[in-house]
Amino acid sequence: MSQKLMPLNKDGMPTYLNLEVLGRQWMSISFIWALSVFTPVHAQLFKGQGIRVQIVDIPRPTAPANLLISDIQFGEGAGGEVNEMLDAEETATISFKISNSGKGDAYRMVLHLEALHTFTGIRYEQSIALGNLAAGATKESSFTLKGNRDLVNGEANFKMQVTEANGFDSDFARLRFKTQAFKSPELSLVDAVFTNVAGEGQVTLAKMVHLQMLVQNRGQGTARDVVVQIRNPDKVFAADQTEYRFAELAPNAVERIDYEFFANKQYALPEIALEVRAIESHGHYGFQETRSVSLTKVLAKTQTLELEGRRSDQVVISDASLLSDVDKNIPRTAEPNSNRYALVIGNEDYSTYQPGLNQEANVAFARNDARVVKEYFRGVLGVPEANIDYLTDATSVRMSQAIGKLAGLIKLNDGKAEVFVYYAGHGLPDESKEPYLIPVDVTGSNVRDGIRLSTLYGRLTEFPAARITIFLDACFSGAARGQELFAMRGVKIKANTQVSEGNMVVFAASSGDQGALPYREKQHGIFTYHLLKKWQEKGGDLSYPEMHRYLAKEVGIQSLKSHNKDQTPQLLLSPEAEKKVDTWKFN
C-alpha cells in the first residue's frame, strides 16, 4: 500500500495530532488509530462530534542537536535537617544544566525521571517539559522531590534523561542520594514549680501565684508550630496570656514558660488544678496533663540541675529541671535602654578543646552563670536583647571579635553608651603578673594567647562612654573552681588587676591569690549567685558600693562554709569612676 500511517507536514516530517475529547464520549483504540491516518482536512469530518483536533508541527532539523545533562545539585529543602540527605517530610530541589553543543536546535525537550528500584516514600513528577534549546545554548532547570512520612533509611537511585522531539535525546545521567526515615518529636512537661511572688511560701487566695514550667522535646524529630495552652478552673484567672507559641523545638531542647494566675476569694477547693496541653504540627506528639498546687502546704524551693544535651547520631535526651531560686522570678524592673550594651561570656568546657586535659579543669557552672546573667541584664539592667552578645565556651577568635564589636559600638554612641561585661571562666597571670582571660582553646602553658585584661580595659575605654561595668567571676592567681588549668602553677600569684582610665568599675570575684569558688548547691559560682540574689531582691535600685558591701560579706561567709577558704570580692575603680561611683545605681 502507498498509504502512510502518519501524515507528513510540508517539510516531509510527521505531523502529531493532539486529541481532546469533549463531554463524556468514549473512543475505541481502533478509532484513535484511524485518526492517525487522516490529513488535517479530515478533521472537518468531526465537526459537531465532540472532538477537537489540533495539528502541531515539529520543525525539520537542519543539523543534529547534541544534549548533555550536567551540574546536578542536591539542594536542602524546608522541613528537614541540613545533612545532604532527603529526610521524611522534606522537599528537596534538584537543579541541573542542559546544554546543546550540536549545530541544530532542540525542540520540545522533556525530562524523564525513573527510579531504578522500588522505593516508597518519595513523591516526584516522572516527566517535566523543558521547552526548546537553541544550538550552542545552555539552560538551568530544576525539579523537586518530596519525602513522605513513610520514607525509610536507605539510598535512592534515579535515571535522568532529556528526550527531544526529533529524536536527539541526551545520554542517561544518574541521581543518587541517601534518605532518612521520619523522626517523631515527643513533647513532655518535664517539670513544673509553683511559687508566690517571693519565690516560696504558701498560696493565698486573691494573691498572685507563679507557675514555672519546662516543656522539653524528648523525641528525635523537631517539633514545629508548638502551642502550649493553660486552662484554669472556675474562679481562677490568668494574669496574662494562657497560650504560648514556639516556632520549633529541636530534639532535647527546652522552653521555659512563666505563667501567673490568681484565685478569687470564692474559690472553695483545697487545691488549684491547672490543665496544661501542648500540640504540634502533626497533632500526635503533644501532651495533656494537670498540675496542681495545694492551698495549705508550704511551697519548697527547687534546686536541681538543668543539663544541656549534645547532638549525635541519636540525640541524647537529658533530664531537664528547674534551677536554683535565682534562676526563676527574675525581676523585670527596667525598661529597655537603647544606649546600653552587654557582652556575656561563660567559658566552662576547656577539656573538649584541649585533648588530654582532665574534665576537672572545666569551670563548673560557668555556662549556667552566663545564661542567667544574660536574663538579669535584660530584666534588671534594661539591656535590649539585640544589644547583648552572648558567648559560651568561646575561643580566642570569638572573644576578640566580640570585644572589638563592643568597642566599635562605644565609638559610635558619642559618649552615651553604658556597657556591661560579664565573664565566668579561667583566668591566669603570665610571668610578669599580667592577668589574662583564658578562652577555651588557650592552654595554661600559653597564657599570652589569651585576652590580656589590660587590653580589654583599653579597648573599652579607647572612646568615651557614660560608664563601663565589668563583672569577673574568675581569679588570676592560678586557682580555679575545680582543678587548675595548668597544674604546675601550684604557687599562687597576686596579679595586677587595677583599672587606670575611663568611667570603668570592675566587680572582681576574689582578691590577691584567692580562688573564685563554686556554689554547688545553687549550680553557680559563689560570686555570681550572690550578685544575682541581690538583683533579685532589690532589682536595679541599689548603688555600686551597696552591692560591693553585700558581696564582700555574703561571698566571704559562703566560701568559708562551703570550702573553708577565703574569697573576698573586690571593687576596682578608675580615677574618673571613683569620683562618681557613689551616685551610680544599676538601673
pLDDT in tens, 126-163: 999 999 999 999 999 999 999 998 999 999 999 999 99
Instruction: Identify residue 325 by its one-letter amino acid code.
Output: D
Q: Flag the least confident range among 98-107, 318-327, 413-422.
A: 318-327
Residue 318 has a pLDDT of 61
Residue 497 has a pLDDT of 64
**Would the pTM count as exceeding 0.75?**
no
CATH of domain 335-582: 3.40.50.1460
**Residue 186 grid cell:** 515527643
State the DSSP H helix or E strand holding residue 518, giving kind and residue range, or none if neither. Answer: strand 518-519
Mean pLDDT of 121-126: 94
**pLDDT tens, residue by residue, 385-410:** 999 999 999 999 999 999 999 999 99
Residue 433 has a pLDDT of 85
Phi, psi (degrees; rounded to nearest 5) at 298? -80, 135
Three state DSSP letters for 359-389: HHHCCCCHHHHHHHHHHHHHHCCCCCHHHEE
Categorize the per-residue pLDDT at 19 as very low, low, confident or very high, splitting at 50, 70 and 90: very low
Categorize the per-residue pLDDT at 320 as very low, low, confident or very high, splitting at 50, 70 and 90: low
Q: How many angstroms separate the CA atoms of 359 and 209, rounded?
A: 41
Q: Same topology for domains 67-180 and 335-582, yes or no? A: no
Q: Flag the least confident range among 42-56, 80-94, 111-125, 538-552.
A: 42-56
Q: How many angstroms separate the CA atoms of 557 and 311, rounded?
A: 40
Mean pLDDT of 371-375: 95
Q: How many angstroms separate the CA atoms of 233 and 242, rounded?
A: 13
Mean pLDDT of 328-357: 91
* Residue predicted with more confidence, 343 or 368: 343
pLDDT of 2 > 70? The answer is: no
Categorize the per-residue pLDDT at 319 as very low, low, confident or very high, splitting at 50, 70 and 90: low
Q: What is the mean pLDDT of the chain?
A: 84
Q: Flag the least confident range among 34-38, 291-295, 514-518.
A: 34-38
Phi, psi (degrees; rounded to nearest 5) at 181? -65, 165
> In the CATH scheme, what is the homologous superfamily, with its name and number, of domain 67-180?
Immunoglobulins (2.60.40.10)
The label of the residue with cell 536583647 reads 385
HSE-CB at 342 with a 13 A cutoff on CA atoms is 28
Which of 47-56, 312-321, 490-499, 558-567 has the highest mean predicted lDDT (pLDDT)? 558-567
**pLDDT tens, residue by residue, 233-259:** 999 999 999 999 999 999 999 999 999
196-317 classified as CATH 2.60.40.10: yes
Q: Which of 122, 125, 145 is nearest to 75 (CA)?
A: 145
pLDDT of 18 > 80? The answer is: no
Q: Which of 580, 514, 585, 584 is nearest to 552 (CA)?
A: 514
Contact (CB, 8 A) for 82 and 74:
no
Every domain of the chain and the residues it spans: 15-57, 67-180, 196-317, 335-582
**Residue 234 grid cell:** 472556675
Q: How many angstroms separate the CA atoms of 130 and 304, rounded?
A: 62
State the DSSP H helix or E strand holding residue 96, giving kind and residue range, or none if neither. Answer: strand 91-100
**pLDDT tens, residue by residue, 50-93:** 455 444 578 999 999 999 999 999 998 766 677 889 999 899 99
Residue 274 has a pLDDT of 96
Contact (CB, 8 A) for 15 and 6:
yes
**pLDDT tens, residue by residue, 266-316:** 999 999 999 999 999 999 999 999 999 988 765 544 333 343 444 335 666
pLDDT of 323 > 70? The answer is: no
Residue 587 has a pLDDT of 85
Residue 314 has a pLDDT of 66
Residue 120 has a pLDDT of 86
State the DSSP H helix or E strand holding residue 397, giving kind and residue range, or none if neither. Answer: helix 396-412
**pLDDT tens, residue by residue, 218-236:** 999 999 999 999 999 999 9
Residue 552 has a pLDDT of 96
pLDDT of 13 > 70? The answer is: no
